[in-house]
Amino acid sequence: MQNPKAKQTVKPSIGRRIFNVFVYLFALAGFGIIAAWGIFKLGLTNNNGAVDNNYRYLMSVSELEQMKASDLTPQQRNALWLEQYLKLAAFGKYYPENAHLILEAAQRSDNPLVVDRMIAAASLYTDSSDNYNSFLADLKKVYDSRPAQQSPTVIPWMATTEWELLKPSIMKDSALLVEAGRLTGVEPRLIVACLVGEQIRLFNSNREIVKKYLGPVKMLSVQSQFSYGVNGIKEHTARMVEDHLKDSTSEFYMGKHYENLLDFKTDNHEMERFNRLVDYRNHLYSYIYTGCILHQTMLQWKRAGFDISDRPDILCTLFNVGFSQSHPHDAPRCGGSHIKVDGRLYTFGAIGFDFYYSGDMSDAFPYWDSCFIEDDGVAMTQSQIEGVQNNVSNCGRPEKGIEYRQQEEERMDW
């Protein structure tokens, strides 16, 4: 029989047990916080790190060539770029991804010293590569064994006085050339290629005059007899360009967007056209007509089944010989007018080709992904048309037709 006086065990309620669990958890959390604080105060979490085994090399790379890029002479800059490209050639053989990344940086940077540090930094991991080091040594050996050439460029006419005088003159017109490219849907560099051919030709036709008067002030030569403006565009060619813009049935038609590009402000189209082309203060219209000729000729050939949109040699040649000699076929040849420069004979198309692929002035006239922009079908607004029309200077010009009277007077004198 159970003793009624025995103490009975009473189980805690559910609420009491939950309360006890929370008390224990808070106690553990408090203990953990106090322990963490103690470890931190005692400095047990400090990580003193380690010195990288290659620290001296890393330091030397960071301190490499402390001079500024601006302190280098052009010859030093060229020599440094060439040395780096030699190293990149070796990188490309064994480490193509590194070479690609560094080459992209080199193309974006105008500081060869930064690129040199990139190459040196990547070289940290090439010391154990006997194949790479051997290949780089062979490249340097071959490079150093070749005597340096006297000419700074492989293209002879680009090493002449003519070109040195012409380059700054073209750069003065860079904004107009870029604008003409935008308006006509033609890569500005292609328009410049035609300009170079024409100006080199004019320079050699009037060598002493250009050197004495136009060279010092960096002015482009402007024609006013038979062929007009800086690009030597004939009057009948300009009229054909204007007609092609309007004629949607023409094989030269550029599209709706370009129809009103060369609209006139007055009823005297002949005089207005003349004033546009011989304007010696603002050459925009000369470049617009040039761009239209290139675009229209390209479309003529493309519609005939022959794509010459990536052939600057053929496009420059056709610009030079004119619409009348543009007959699409499957074997076009580079040529055009003969131009003698420094004793060498070139063709107009070859000079345009040389400049186009030379890379010279590529900062101002970069290469587009495509040389031509297709018509978007949206016509120009009246304000856009007027914006183009306002690019004619109010300057004194030779009287139109004087060239014919001069020619007749020369015949009579003879």
Confidence of residue 61 (pLDDT cuts 50, 70, 90): very low
Confidence of residue 284 (pLDDT cuts 50, 70, 90): very high
Residue at 14: amino acid letter = I
pLDDT at 124 over 90: no
For residues 269 and 351, membership in a common domain is answered with yes
Q: Report pLDDT digits (tens) over 153-177.
A: 889 999 988 898 899 999 999 999 9
* pLDDT reported for residue 409: 46
Domain-embedded: residue 33: no
Q: Which of 140, 170, 201 is the last residue of a domain?
A: 140
Q: Which residue has the higher pLDDT, 16 or 133?
A: 133
Q: Report pLDDT digits (tens) over 195-227.
A: 999 999 887 765 555 554 444 445 576 765 678
For residues 241 and 340, membership in a common domain is answered with yes
For residues 87 and 166, membership in a common domain is answered with no
Residues sharing a CB contact under 8 Å with residue 359, sequence separation 6 or more, in sequence order? none
Residue numbers of the domain that contains 277: 156-413
Q: Report pLDDT digits (tens) over 331-354.
A: 999 999 999 988 899 999 999 999
Percent of the chain with pLDDT over 70: 73
pTM above 0.85, yes or no: no
> Measured in whole angstroms, how far is the alpha carbon of residue 10 from the centre of its chain?
91
Give the residue among 119, 60, 110 at the shortest CA–CA distance from 91: 119
For residues 118 and 252, membership in a common domain is answered with no
Domain-embedded: residue 32: no
Average pLDDT over residues 358-364: 95
Q: Which of 115, 140, 165 is the last residue of a domain?
A: 140
Domain-embedded: residue 27: no
For residues 130 and 182, membership in a common domain is answered with no
Cα atoms in the Cβ-side hemisphere of radius 13 Å centred on 221: 27
Per the CB < 8 A criterion, the answer to whether 284 and 233 are in contact is no
Domain-embedded: residue 17: no
Q: Which of 110, 140, 170 is the last residue of a domain?
A: 140
For the chain, give the mean pLDDT.
82
For residues 134 and 251, membership in a common domain is answered with no
Per the CB < 8 A criterion, the answer to whether 322 and 234 are in contact is yes
Q: Based on the structure, what is the number of domains in the chain?
A: 2
